Amino acid sequence: MGWLCCFLGFLVLAARLPLDAARRFHDVLGYERPPAYMREHHQLHGWSSDENDWNEKLYPVWKRGDERWKNSWKGGRVQAVLTSDSPALVGSNITFVVNLVFPRCQKEDASGNIVYEKNCRNETGLSAEPYVYNWTAWSEDDDWENDSHQSHHHVFPDGRPFPHHHGWRKWNFVYVFHTLGQYFQKLGRCSVRVSMNTANVTVGPQVMEVAVYRRHGRAYVPIAQVKDVYVVTDQIPVFVTMTQKNDRNSSDETFLKGLPIMFDVLIHDPSHFLNESTINYKWSFGDNTGLFVSSNHTQNHTYVLNGTFSLNLTVQATVPGPCPPPSPRPPRPTPSIGVTLKSYSSTPPPTPAPGPAGDSLLELSEIPGEDCQIYRYGYFRATITIVEGILEVNIIQKTDVLMPMPQPDSSLIDFVVTCQGTIPTEVCTVISDPTCQVAQDPVCDPVDMDETCLLTVRRAFSGSGTYCVNLTLSDDASLALTSTLISVPGRDPGSALRIAKGALISIGCLALFVTVIALLVYKKHKEYKPIKNSAGNVVKRQGLNIFLDRAKAVFLLPENQEKDPLLKNPPGVL
Protein backbone atom coordinates (compact mmCIF):
# COMPACT_ATOMS: atom_id res chain seq x y z
CA MET A 1 0.00 0.00 0.00
CA GLY A 2 2.91 2.27 0.77
CA TRP A 3 4.46 1.81 -2.63
CA LEU A 4 1.13 2.73 -4.24
CA CYS A 5 1.02 6.04 -2.34
CA CYS A 6 4.59 6.83 -3.39
CA PHE A 7 3.76 6.09 -7.00
CA LEU A 8 0.68 8.33 -6.93
CA GLY A 9 2.68 11.11 -5.33
CA PHE A 10 5.31 10.84 -8.04
CA LEU A 11 2.63 11.11 -10.70
CA VAL A 12 1.22 14.24 -9.03
CA LEU A 13 4.67 15.87 -8.89
CA ALA A 14 5.35 14.91 -12.49
CA ALA A 15 2.05 16.40 -13.55
CA ARG A 16 2.77 19.66 -11.68
CA LEU A 17 6.35 19.98 -12.88
CA PRO A 18 5.55 21.42 -16.34
CA LEU A 19 3.13 23.87 -14.78
CA ASP A 20 5.75 25.14 -12.38
CA ALA A 21 8.57 25.17 -14.91
CA ALA A 22 6.78 26.71 -17.89
CA ARG A 23 6.26 30.49 -17.69
CA ARG A 24 4.15 32.26 -20.25
CA PHE A 25 4.25 35.77 -21.60
CA HIS A 26 1.18 36.92 -19.71
CA ASP A 27 2.89 35.77 -16.50
CA VAL A 28 5.87 38.02 -17.20
CA LEU A 29 3.93 40.98 -18.63
CA GLY A 30 0.79 40.63 -16.59
CA TYR A 31 0.95 43.79 -14.50
CA GLU A 32 -2.04 45.13 -16.42
CA ARG A 33 -3.48 41.83 -17.58
CA PRO A 34 -6.99 42.49 -18.89
CA PRO A 35 -9.98 40.39 -17.93
CA ALA A 36 -10.78 37.32 -19.98
CA TYR A 37 -13.48 39.06 -22.01
CA MET A 38 -11.02 41.80 -23.04
CA ARG A 39 -8.53 39.21 -24.23
CA GLU A 40 -10.85 37.95 -26.95
CA HIS A 41 -9.57 40.29 -29.68
CA HIS A 42 -8.91 39.63 -33.29
CA GLN A 43 -5.33 38.93 -34.18
CA LEU A 44 -3.12 42.02 -34.41
CA HIS A 45 -1.03 41.87 -37.54
CA GLY A 46 2.49 40.67 -36.69
CA TRP A 47 1.71 40.09 -33.00
CA SER A 48 1.57 36.79 -31.07
CA SER A 49 -0.59 35.43 -28.30
CA ASP A 50 0.73 35.89 -24.77
CA GLU A 51 -0.15 32.25 -24.10
CA ASN A 52 3.22 31.30 -25.62
CA ASP A 53 6.04 30.08 -23.39
CA TRP A 54 8.70 32.47 -22.09
CA ASN A 55 12.35 31.32 -22.05
CA GLU A 56 13.22 32.20 -18.48
CA LYS A 57 16.68 30.66 -18.76
CA LEU A 58 17.82 33.28 -21.27
CA TYR A 59 15.50 36.03 -20.02
CA PRO A 60 15.14 35.90 -16.22
CA VAL A 61 12.05 37.38 -14.65
CA TRP A 62 12.34 39.69 -11.63
CA LYS A 63 9.38 40.95 -9.68
CA ARG A 64 9.04 44.53 -8.59
CA GLY A 65 11.19 45.27 -5.56
CA ASP A 66 13.65 42.47 -6.28
CA GLU A 67 17.14 43.39 -5.02
CA ARG A 68 18.69 42.28 -8.30
CA TRP A 69 17.27 45.37 -10.02
CA LYS A 70 19.89 47.50 -8.22
CA ASN A 71 22.70 45.69 -10.05
CA SER A 72 21.03 45.39 -13.44
CA TRP A 73 23.10 48.27 -14.84
CA LYS A 74 26.56 49.59 -14.05
CA GLY A 75 26.50 53.05 -12.53
CA GLY A 76 22.80 53.32 -11.72
CA ARG A 77 19.35 52.52 -13.08
CA VAL A 78 18.16 52.86 -16.66
CA GLN A 79 14.82 54.51 -17.27
CA ALA A 80 12.58 53.68 -20.23
CA VAL A 81 10.31 56.42 -21.59
CA LEU A 82 7.29 55.20 -23.59
CA THR A 83 5.28 57.59 -25.80
CA SER A 84 2.73 57.20 -28.57
CA ASP A 85 0.92 59.35 -31.14
CA SER A 86 -2.44 58.53 -29.54
CA PRO A 87 -5.34 59.13 -30.00
CA ALA A 88 -5.69 56.96 -33.09
CA LEU A 89 -8.71 56.65 -35.34
CA VAL A 90 -9.81 53.05 -35.49
CA GLY A 91 -8.35 51.46 -38.59
CA SER A 92 -5.27 53.69 -38.62
CA ASN A 93 -1.80 52.87 -37.34
CA ILE A 94 -0.59 53.95 -33.92
CA THR A 95 3.13 54.29 -33.27
CA PHE A 96 4.93 53.67 -29.97
CA VAL A 97 8.44 54.94 -29.22
CA VAL A 98 10.68 53.76 -26.38
CA ASN A 99 13.76 55.80 -25.43
CA LEU A 100 16.29 54.61 -22.86
CA VAL A 101 17.72 57.18 -20.46
CA PHE A 102 21.10 56.10 -19.14
CA PRO A 103 22.74 57.22 -15.88
CA ARG A 104 24.67 60.48 -15.93
CA CYS A 105 27.76 60.63 -18.16
CA GLN A 106 26.77 57.50 -20.13
CA LYS A 107 25.74 57.28 -23.78
CA GLU A 108 25.55 54.86 -26.70
CA ASP A 109 28.25 55.22 -29.37
CA ALA A 110 28.05 54.50 -33.10
CA SER A 111 28.98 50.84 -32.58
CA GLY A 112 26.20 50.24 -30.07
CA ASN A 113 28.55 50.17 -27.06
CA ILE A 114 27.82 52.13 -23.91
CA VAL A 115 30.63 54.59 -23.17
CA TYR A 116 31.40 57.36 -20.70
CA GLU A 117 31.12 60.89 -21.99
CA LYS A 118 34.39 62.80 -22.10
CA ASN A 119 35.06 65.40 -19.37
CA CYS A 120 31.84 64.47 -17.59
CA ARG A 121 31.78 64.05 -13.83
CA ASN A 122 29.25 61.88 -12.05
CA GLU A 123 28.96 61.03 -8.38
CA THR A 124 32.20 59.03 -8.49
CA GLY A 125 34.11 61.64 -10.53
CA LEU A 126 35.79 61.07 -13.89
CA SER A 127 35.86 57.46 -15.04
CA ALA A 128 39.23 55.94 -15.90
CA GLU A 129 37.63 53.43 -18.27
CA PRO A 130 36.14 54.49 -21.61
CA TYR A 131 33.46 51.78 -21.70
CA VAL A 132 30.48 51.00 -19.53
CA TYR A 133 29.65 47.96 -21.67
CA ASN A 134 31.99 47.03 -24.54
CA TRP A 135 29.69 44.66 -26.38
CA THR A 136 31.90 44.66 -29.46
CA ALA A 137 34.67 42.96 -27.47
CA TRP A 138 32.16 40.59 -25.87
CA SER A 139 30.96 39.54 -29.31
CA GLU A 140 34.45 38.55 -30.33
CA ASP A 141 35.15 36.72 -27.07
CA ASP A 142 31.81 34.89 -27.06
CA ASP A 143 32.00 33.82 -30.72
CA TRP A 144 29.14 36.19 -31.64
CA GLU A 145 30.13 35.87 -35.27
CA ASN A 146 29.83 32.06 -35.16
CA ASP A 147 26.43 31.15 -36.54
CA SER A 148 26.59 27.79 -34.75
CA HIS A 149 25.56 29.59 -31.58
CA GLN A 150 22.55 31.23 -33.23
CA SER A 151 20.06 28.74 -31.86
CA HIS A 152 21.34 29.11 -28.30
CA HIS A 153 21.34 32.78 -27.37
CA HIS A 154 20.57 34.82 -30.51
CA VAL A 155 16.84 34.35 -29.94
CA PHE A 156 13.87 36.21 -28.49
CA PRO A 157 12.09 35.12 -25.29
CA ASP A 158 9.72 32.91 -27.32
CA GLY A 159 12.62 31.17 -29.07
CA ARG A 160 12.38 32.90 -32.44
CA PRO A 161 15.78 33.85 -33.92
CA PHE A 162 16.93 37.43 -34.26
CA PRO A 163 16.41 38.94 -37.71
CA HIS A 164 19.69 39.45 -39.55
CA HIS A 165 19.15 43.02 -40.73
CA HIS A 166 22.08 45.21 -41.68
CA GLY A 167 23.96 46.17 -38.52
CA TRP A 168 21.94 43.87 -36.28
CA ARG A 169 25.04 42.97 -34.26
CA LYS A 170 25.10 46.57 -32.98
CA TRP A 171 21.63 46.10 -31.48
CA ASN A 172 22.11 45.02 -27.89
CA PHE A 173 18.66 45.57 -26.39
CA VAL A 174 15.56 43.36 -26.61
CA TYR A 175 12.16 45.06 -26.31
CA VAL A 176 8.96 43.12 -25.65
CA PHE A 177 5.68 45.04 -26.23
CA HIS A 178 2.50 43.66 -24.71
CA THR A 179 -1.15 44.76 -25.09
CA LEU A 180 -4.58 43.18 -25.45
CA GLY A 181 -3.28 39.69 -24.70
CA GLN A 182 -0.66 39.81 -27.48
CA TYR A 183 3.03 40.66 -27.68
CA PHE A 184 5.60 41.94 -30.18
CA GLN A 185 9.40 41.44 -29.90
CA LYS A 186 12.01 43.78 -31.33
CA LEU A 187 15.81 43.93 -31.30
CA GLY A 188 17.18 47.46 -31.23
CA ARG A 189 19.45 50.11 -29.81
CA CYS A 190 18.70 52.75 -27.17
CA SER A 191 15.58 53.89 -29.07
CA VAL A 192 13.00 51.80 -30.95
CA ARG A 193 9.75 52.48 -32.76
CA VAL A 194 6.84 50.06 -33.24
CA SER A 195 3.64 50.65 -35.25
CA MET A 196 0.40 48.73 -34.74
CA ASN A 197 -2.76 48.75 -36.81
CA THR A 198 -5.90 49.46 -34.80
CA ALA A 199 -8.48 47.85 -37.09
CA ASN A 200 -8.99 45.02 -34.58
CA VAL A 201 -8.54 47.07 -31.42
CA THR A 202 -11.47 47.80 -29.15
CA VAL A 203 -12.43 51.48 -29.08
CA GLY A 204 -11.43 53.17 -25.85
CA PRO A 205 -8.36 53.50 -23.61
CA GLN A 206 -5.89 50.60 -23.64
CA VAL A 207 -2.59 49.84 -21.89
CA MET A 208 0.74 49.13 -23.54
CA GLU A 209 3.55 47.53 -21.49
CA VAL A 210 7.19 47.18 -22.50
CA ALA A 211 9.96 45.09 -20.92
CA VAL A 212 13.57 45.91 -21.87
CA TYR A 213 16.53 43.50 -21.62
CA ARG A 214 20.24 44.03 -22.31
CA ARG A 215 22.90 41.60 -23.45
CA HIS A 216 24.89 39.87 -20.72
CA GLY A 217 27.27 37.30 -22.19
CA ARG A 218 25.08 34.57 -23.67
CA ALA A 219 22.03 35.61 -21.68
CA TYR A 220 20.03 38.77 -21.08
CA VAL A 221 19.33 40.91 -18.01
CA PRO A 222 16.15 42.96 -17.41
CA ILE A 223 16.94 46.67 -17.06
CA ALA A 224 13.59 48.51 -17.28
CA GLN A 225 9.84 48.13 -17.50
CA VAL A 226 7.37 50.81 -18.52
CA LYS A 227 3.69 51.16 -19.41
CA ASP A 228 1.45 53.84 -20.86
CA VAL A 229 -2.20 54.39 -21.81
CA TYR A 230 -3.18 54.89 -25.44
CA VAL A 231 -6.61 55.66 -26.89
CA VAL A 232 -8.37 54.28 -29.97
CA THR A 233 -11.44 56.23 -31.06
CA ASP A 234 -14.11 55.96 -33.75
CA GLN A 235 -14.34 59.77 -33.98
CA ILE A 236 -11.86 61.88 -35.95
CA PRO A 237 -9.58 63.75 -33.52
CA VAL A 238 -10.20 67.40 -34.43
CA PHE A 239 -8.52 70.56 -33.17
CA VAL A 240 -9.28 74.12 -34.26
CA THR A 241 -6.99 77.14 -34.01
CA MET A 242 -8.63 80.58 -34.02
CA THR A 243 -6.65 83.72 -34.90
CA GLN A 244 -7.63 87.33 -35.51
CA LYS A 245 -5.79 90.51 -36.38
CA ASN A 246 -5.42 92.89 -33.41
CA ASP A 247 -6.66 90.24 -30.94
CA ARG A 248 -4.54 90.48 -27.81
CA ASN A 249 -5.00 86.92 -26.52
CA SER A 250 -6.50 84.26 -28.79
CA SER A 251 -6.37 81.58 -26.09
CA ASP A 252 -9.16 83.21 -24.06
CA GLU A 253 -11.61 82.76 -26.99
CA THR A 254 -12.47 86.48 -26.83
CA PHE A 255 -12.36 88.26 -30.20
CA LEU A 256 -13.15 91.66 -31.70
CA LYS A 257 -16.28 92.78 -33.47
CA GLY A 258 -15.90 93.80 -37.09
CA LEU A 259 -12.70 91.92 -37.90
CA PRO A 260 -12.57 88.47 -39.57
CA ILE A 261 -11.59 85.47 -37.47
CA MET A 262 -9.61 82.70 -39.19
CA PHE A 263 -10.54 79.16 -38.17
CA ASP A 264 -8.01 76.46 -39.10
CA VAL A 265 -8.98 72.81 -38.61
CA LEU A 266 -6.22 70.38 -37.67
CA ILE A 267 -6.98 66.66 -37.95
CA HIS A 268 -4.77 64.38 -35.87
CA ASP A 269 -3.84 61.72 -38.41
CA PRO A 270 -0.13 60.91 -37.99
CA SER A 271 -0.36 57.69 -40.00
CA HIS A 272 -2.09 59.50 -42.92
CA PHE A 273 -5.04 57.14 -42.73
CA LEU A 274 -7.38 59.80 -44.19
CA ASN A 275 -5.16 60.87 -47.07
CA GLU A 276 -7.38 59.20 -49.65
CA SER A 277 -10.60 60.32 -48.00
CA THR A 278 -13.02 63.06 -49.03
CA ILE A 279 -13.38 65.47 -46.10
CA ASN A 280 -16.13 68.06 -45.67
CA TYR A 281 -16.41 70.73 -42.98
CA LYS A 282 -19.79 71.95 -41.75
CA TRP A 283 -19.72 75.21 -39.77
CA SER A 284 -22.36 76.82 -37.58
CA PHE A 285 -21.13 80.07 -36.00
CA GLY A 286 -24.10 80.61 -33.72
CA ASP A 287 -25.00 84.10 -34.99
CA ASN A 288 -27.95 83.11 -37.20
CA THR A 289 -25.87 83.30 -40.38
CA GLY A 290 -26.73 79.74 -41.39
CA LEU A 291 -24.74 76.58 -42.09
CA PHE A 292 -21.50 76.76 -44.11
CA VAL A 293 -20.22 73.63 -45.87
CA SER A 294 -16.70 73.59 -47.32
CA SER A 295 -14.00 71.18 -48.39
CA ASN A 296 -11.29 73.62 -47.19
CA HIS A 297 -9.85 73.20 -43.73
CA THR A 298 -9.72 77.00 -43.22
CA GLN A 299 -12.70 79.30 -42.83
CA ASN A 300 -13.09 83.05 -42.17
CA HIS A 301 -16.02 84.57 -40.34
CA THR A 302 -16.77 88.10 -39.06
CA TYR A 303 -19.07 88.73 -36.12
CA VAL A 304 -20.92 92.05 -36.40
CA LEU A 305 -22.53 92.03 -32.94
CA ASN A 306 -21.16 91.87 -29.43
CA GLY A 307 -22.09 88.91 -27.26
CA THR A 308 -21.47 85.21 -26.68
CA PHE A 309 -21.86 82.70 -29.49
CA SER A 310 -21.69 78.89 -29.76
CA LEU A 311 -19.40 77.56 -32.49
CA ASN A 312 -20.12 74.08 -33.84
CA LEU A 313 -18.04 72.17 -36.39
CA THR A 314 -18.73 68.74 -37.87
CA VAL A 315 -16.04 67.04 -39.92
CA GLN A 316 -17.14 64.21 -42.21
CA ALA A 317 -14.61 61.88 -43.84
CA THR A 318 -15.58 59.38 -46.51
CA VAL A 319 -13.04 56.58 -46.13
CA PRO A 320 -12.72 54.08 -48.98
CA GLY A 321 -12.05 50.52 -47.95
CA PRO A 322 -12.91 46.89 -48.60
CA CYS A 323 -16.44 45.83 -47.99
CA PRO A 324 -17.07 43.51 -45.08
CA PRO A 325 -17.65 39.82 -45.90
CA PRO A 326 -21.22 39.20 -47.03
CA SER A 327 -23.55 37.82 -44.44
CA PRO A 328 -26.28 35.26 -45.24
CA ARG A 329 -29.11 36.92 -47.09
CA PRO A 330 -32.00 37.56 -44.71
CA PRO A 331 -35.48 36.50 -45.70
CA ARG A 332 -36.54 40.18 -45.85
CA PRO A 333 -34.50 43.21 -46.93
CA THR A 334 -32.81 45.18 -44.16
CA PRO A 335 -33.20 48.95 -44.75
CA SER A 336 -30.30 49.87 -42.44
CA ILE A 337 -27.77 48.14 -44.71
CA GLY A 338 -28.62 50.44 -47.59
CA VAL A 339 -27.94 53.43 -45.34
CA THR A 340 -24.64 52.43 -43.77
CA LEU A 341 -22.94 50.86 -46.79
CA LYS A 342 -22.45 52.54 -50.13
CA SER A 343 -20.71 50.55 -52.85
CA TYR A 344 -18.80 51.98 -55.75
CA SER A 345 -16.50 50.58 -58.39
CA SER A 346 -14.12 51.95 -60.98
CA THR A 347 -15.98 49.89 -63.63
CA PRO A 348 -19.73 49.63 -64.12
CA PRO A 349 -21.03 46.71 -62.07
CA PRO A 350 -22.89 43.90 -63.82
CA THR A 351 -26.64 43.98 -63.75
CA PRO A 352 -27.80 42.08 -60.69
CA ALA A 353 -30.14 39.18 -61.06
CA PRO A 354 -33.78 39.92 -60.47
CA GLY A 355 -34.80 39.65 -56.90
CA PRO A 356 -36.67 41.34 -54.14
CA ALA A 357 -36.30 45.11 -53.84
CA GLY A 358 -33.46 46.17 -51.59
CA ASP A 359 -31.15 43.23 -52.38
CA SER A 360 -29.01 45.06 -54.95
CA LEU A 361 -26.50 46.47 -52.40
CA LEU A 362 -25.89 43.04 -50.94
CA GLU A 363 -25.22 41.61 -54.35
CA LEU A 364 -22.84 44.48 -55.23
CA SER A 365 -20.85 43.92 -52.08
CA GLU A 366 -20.17 40.35 -53.15
CA ILE A 367 -18.53 41.40 -56.42
CA PRO A 368 -14.72 40.89 -56.27
CA GLY A 369 -12.66 44.09 -56.31
CA GLU A 370 -15.58 46.17 -55.05
CA ASP A 371 -14.98 48.84 -52.38
CA CYS A 372 -17.21 50.39 -49.76
CA GLN A 373 -17.33 53.79 -48.17
CA ILE A 374 -17.05 54.17 -44.43
CA TYR A 375 -18.12 57.46 -42.90
CA ARG A 376 -16.19 58.83 -39.95
CA TYR A 377 -17.10 61.99 -38.07
CA GLY A 378 -15.32 64.45 -35.84
CA TYR A 379 -16.76 67.25 -33.72
CA PHE A 380 -15.57 70.53 -32.27
CA ARG A 381 -17.47 72.98 -30.08
CA ALA A 382 -16.45 76.26 -28.50
CA THR A 383 -18.00 79.34 -26.89
CA ILE A 384 -16.80 82.64 -28.39
CA THR A 385 -17.12 86.09 -26.84
CA ILE A 386 -17.19 89.15 -29.13
CA VAL A 387 -16.23 92.60 -27.76
CA GLU A 388 -15.25 96.06 -29.04
CA GLY A 389 -11.60 96.75 -29.76
CA ILE A 390 -9.03 98.81 -31.65
CA LEU A 391 -9.58 98.03 -35.31
CA GLU A 392 -6.88 100.05 -37.07
CA VAL A 393 -3.98 102.41 -36.34
CA ASN A 394 -2.13 104.72 -38.76
CA ILE A 395 0.76 107.19 -38.63
CA ILE A 396 -0.40 110.27 -40.57
CA GLN A 397 2.49 112.66 -39.95
CA LYS A 398 6.18 112.67 -38.96
CA THR A 399 7.87 115.91 -37.88
CA ASP A 400 11.41 116.79 -36.80
CA VAL A 401 11.53 118.61 -33.46
CA LEU A 402 13.82 121.69 -33.38
CA MET A 403 15.84 121.81 -30.18
CA PRO A 404 17.19 125.10 -28.67
CA MET A 405 20.64 123.59 -28.33
CA PRO A 406 21.17 121.08 -31.17
CA GLN A 407 22.81 117.84 -30.12
CA PRO A 408 25.10 116.29 -32.74
CA ASP A 409 24.20 112.67 -31.77
CA SER A 410 20.48 112.89 -31.03
CA SER A 411 17.26 113.76 -32.86
CA LEU A 412 13.63 114.07 -31.77
CA ILE A 413 10.74 113.15 -34.05
CA ASP A 414 7.02 113.51 -33.42
CA PHE A 415 4.63 110.88 -34.82
CA VAL A 416 0.97 111.87 -35.19
CA VAL A 417 -1.16 108.73 -34.81
CA THR A 418 -4.85 108.04 -35.42
CA CYS A 419 -6.91 104.90 -34.76
CA GLN A 420 -10.36 103.42 -35.29
CA GLY A 421 -12.44 101.56 -32.74
CA THR A 422 -12.12 101.87 -29.01
CA ILE A 423 -9.83 104.41 -27.31
CA PRO A 424 -6.45 102.84 -26.43
CA THR A 425 -5.04 102.90 -22.93
CA GLU A 426 -1.35 102.42 -23.77
CA VAL A 427 1.05 103.23 -26.59
CA CYS A 428 4.33 101.34 -27.08
CA THR A 429 7.17 102.02 -29.51
CA VAL A 430 9.91 99.65 -30.60
CA ILE A 431 12.80 101.08 -32.64
CA SER A 432 14.84 98.55 -34.62
CA ASP A 433 17.15 98.24 -37.60
CA PRO A 434 15.87 98.74 -41.18
CA THR A 435 14.94 95.03 -41.42
CA CYS A 436 12.74 95.33 -38.31
CA GLN A 437 14.59 92.35 -36.80
CA VAL A 438 17.11 93.69 -34.25
CA ALA A 439 14.98 95.68 -31.82
CA GLN A 440 15.69 97.91 -28.87
CA ASP A 441 13.74 97.70 -25.63
CA PRO A 442 10.13 98.88 -26.05
CA VAL A 443 9.08 102.22 -24.63
CA CYS A 444 5.50 102.30 -23.31
CA ASP A 445 3.43 105.23 -22.04
CA PRO A 446 -0.16 105.48 -20.82
CA VAL A 447 -2.62 107.23 -23.12
CA ASP A 448 -5.01 109.90 -21.88
CA MET A 449 -7.33 111.19 -24.60
CA ASP A 450 -10.94 112.04 -25.19
CA GLU A 451 -13.35 110.39 -27.58
CA THR A 452 -11.17 111.24 -30.59
CA CYS A 453 -8.28 108.86 -31.16
CA LEU A 454 -5.54 111.33 -32.12
CA LEU A 455 -2.25 111.52 -30.29
CA THR A 456 1.36 112.63 -30.79
CA VAL A 457 4.18 110.29 -29.84
CA ARG A 458 7.67 111.79 -29.46
CA ARG A 459 10.67 109.51 -29.70
CA ALA A 460 14.45 110.12 -29.63
CA PHE A 461 16.88 108.62 -32.15
CA SER A 462 20.58 108.21 -31.41
CA GLY A 463 22.66 108.96 -34.47
CA SER A 464 21.79 109.16 -38.14
CA GLY A 465 20.55 106.31 -40.30
CA THR A 466 17.40 104.40 -41.26
CA TYR A 467 15.19 102.99 -38.51
CA CYS A 468 12.15 100.71 -38.40
CA VAL A 469 9.56 102.07 -35.98
CA ASN A 470 6.85 99.72 -34.66
CA LEU A 471 4.06 101.52 -32.87
CA THR A 472 1.26 99.69 -31.02
CA LEU A 473 -1.91 100.91 -29.39
CA SER A 474 -3.58 98.55 -26.93
CA ASP A 475 -6.39 98.10 -24.45
CA ASP A 476 -7.59 95.13 -22.41
CA ALA A 477 -8.86 93.13 -25.41
CA SER A 478 -6.98 94.38 -28.47
CA LEU A 479 -3.56 95.37 -29.71
CA ALA A 480 -3.15 97.21 -33.03
CA LEU A 481 0.20 97.60 -34.76
CA THR A 482 1.62 99.84 -37.44
CA SER A 483 5.16 100.19 -38.76
CA THR A 484 7.13 102.75 -40.71
CA LEU A 485 10.66 103.36 -41.92
CA ILE A 486 12.24 106.68 -41.05
CA SER A 487 15.53 108.23 -42.13
CA VAL A 488 17.36 110.45 -39.64
CA PRO A 489 19.83 112.82 -41.40
CA GLY A 490 23.41 113.16 -40.17
CA ARG A 491 24.68 116.21 -38.31
CA ASP A 492 28.26 117.62 -38.87
CA PRO A 493 29.94 117.57 -35.43
CA GLY A 494 32.09 120.64 -36.42
CA SER A 495 29.16 122.84 -37.43
CA ALA A 496 28.60 124.20 -33.93
CA LEU A 497 32.30 125.10 -33.56
CA ARG A 498 32.28 126.92 -36.87
CA ILE A 499 29.21 128.88 -35.83
CA ALA A 500 30.92 129.93 -32.60
CA LYS A 501 34.09 130.99 -34.42
CA GLY A 502 32.05 133.03 -36.91
CA ALA A 503 30.27 134.80 -34.09
CA LEU A 504 33.55 135.71 -32.41
CA ILE A 505 35.01 137.09 -35.66
CA SER A 506 31.91 139.21 -36.26
CA ILE A 507 32.06 140.63 -32.74
CA GLY A 508 35.77 141.44 -33.19
CA CYS A 509 35.19 143.31 -36.46
CA LEU A 510 32.35 145.27 -34.91
CA ALA A 511 34.54 146.28 -31.98
CA LEU A 512 37.30 147.52 -34.32
CA PHE A 513 34.81 149.55 -36.32
CA VAL A 514 33.42 151.24 -33.23
CA THR A 515 36.92 152.08 -32.00
CA VAL A 516 37.88 153.82 -35.27
CA ILE A 517 34.65 155.85 -35.38
CA ALA A 518 35.14 156.94 -31.79
CA LEU A 519 38.68 158.07 -32.58
CA LEU A 520 37.55 160.13 -35.55
CA VAL A 521 34.81 161.83 -33.57
CA TYR A 522 37.30 162.64 -30.90
CA LYS A 523 39.67 164.25 -33.41
CA LYS A 524 36.93 166.34 -34.95
CA HIS A 525 35.80 167.96 -31.71
CA LYS A 526 39.24 168.39 -30.14
CA GLU A 527 40.25 172.05 -29.39
CA TYR A 528 42.56 173.55 -32.07
CA LYS A 529 46.07 174.58 -31.01
CA PRO A 530 48.59 176.60 -33.12
CA ILE A 531 51.39 174.59 -34.52
CA LYS A 532 54.86 175.48 -33.25
CA ASN A 533 57.76 176.12 -35.64
CA SER A 534 59.57 173.01 -34.60
CA ALA A 535 60.88 170.79 -37.30
CA GLY A 536 60.50 167.68 -35.17
CA ASN A 537 56.95 168.52 -34.20
CA VAL A 538 56.09 169.31 -37.76
CA VAL A 539 57.34 165.95 -38.92
CA LYS A 540 55.51 164.06 -36.14
CA ARG A 541 52.30 165.99 -36.70
CA GLN A 542 52.55 165.39 -40.42
CA GLY A 543 52.97 161.65 -39.94
CA LEU A 544 49.93 161.42 -37.65
CA ASN A 545 47.84 163.50 -40.00
CA ILE A 546 48.73 161.28 -42.93
CA PHE A 547 47.64 158.14 -40.93
CA LEU A 548 44.35 159.69 -39.89
CA ASP A 549 43.79 161.01 -43.37
CA ARG A 550 44.01 157.50 -44.79
CA ALA A 551 41.70 156.10 -42.13
CA LYS A 552 39.07 158.69 -42.81
CA ALA A 553 39.39 158.15 -46.53
CA VAL A 554 38.16 154.65 -45.85
CA PHE A 555 35.27 155.38 -43.45
CA LEU A 556 34.14 158.99 -44.34
CA LEU A 557 32.65 160.53 -47.44
CA PRO A 558 35.00 162.45 -49.79
CA GLU A 559 33.11 165.79 -49.53
CA ASN A 560 33.76 165.98 -45.82
CA GLN A 561 37.51 166.08 -46.33
CA GLU A 562 37.52 169.81 -47.35
CA LYS A 563 35.91 170.94 -44.12
CA ASP A 564 38.57 169.55 -41.78
CA PRO A 565 41.32 172.17 -41.21
CA LEU A 566 43.72 169.45 -40.11
CA LEU A 567 43.87 168.10 -43.63
CA LYS A 568 45.55 171.30 -44.95
CA ASN A 569 49.25 171.06 -45.55
CA PRO A 570 51.31 173.29 -43.21
CA PRO A 571 53.66 175.87 -44.75
CA GLY A 572 56.70 174.29 -46.31
CA VAL A 573 55.21 170.75 -46.68
CA LEU A 574 54.41 169.30 -50.21
Q: Is 327 in a helix, a strand, or coil?
A: coil
Lowest mean pLDDT among 105-114, 259-268, 541-550: 541-550
Quick check: 97 pLDDT over 70? Answer: yes
Domain 12-140+154-233: CATH architecture, name and number where available? Sandwich (2.60)
**Cα distance from N-terminal residue to C-terminal residue, the chain:** 185
Enumerate the domain spans of the chain: 12-140+154-233, 238-323+375-387, 390-488
| pTM as predicted | 0.69
Beta strands 88-89 and 219-233, pairing class = parallel
| Per-residue pLDDT at 334 | 39
pLDDT (tens digit per residue) in 381-440: 999 999 999 999 999 999 888 876 666 667 889 999 999 999 999 999 999 888 888 888
Name the strand (E) or helix (H) holding 504. Answer: helix 495-524
**Residue 372: pLDDT band by 50, 70, 90 thresholds?**
confident
Single out the residue of 27, 61, 108 nearest to residue 222, CA to CA.
Answer: 61
Round to whole Å and give the CA distance between 346 and 342. 14
Query: Fold match between 12-140+154-233 and 390-488?
Result: yes
Quick check: 19 pLDDT over 90? Answer: no
The overall average pLDDT reported for the chain is: 78
Determine the average pLDDT of the residues in 362-379: 67
User: Looking at per-residue confidence, does 392 or 506 come out higher?
Assistant: 392
**Residue 449: pLDDT band by 50, 70, 90 thresholds?**
confident
| Per-residue pLDDT at 355 | 39
**Residue 188: pLDDT band by 50, 70, 90 thresholds?**
very high
The CATH code that applies to domain 238-323+375-387 is: 2.60.40.10
| Per-residue pLDDT at 546 | 53
Single out the residue of 78, 30, 27, 65 nearest to residue 209, CA to CA.
Answer: 30
| Domain range 390-488, CATH class | mainly beta
Single out the residue of 462, 408, 457 nearest to residue 440, CA to CA.
Answer: 462
Asked if 474 contacts 429 with a C-beta cutoff of 8 angstroms, the reply is no
pLDDT (tens digit per residue) in 222-246: 999 999 999 999 999 999 999 999 9
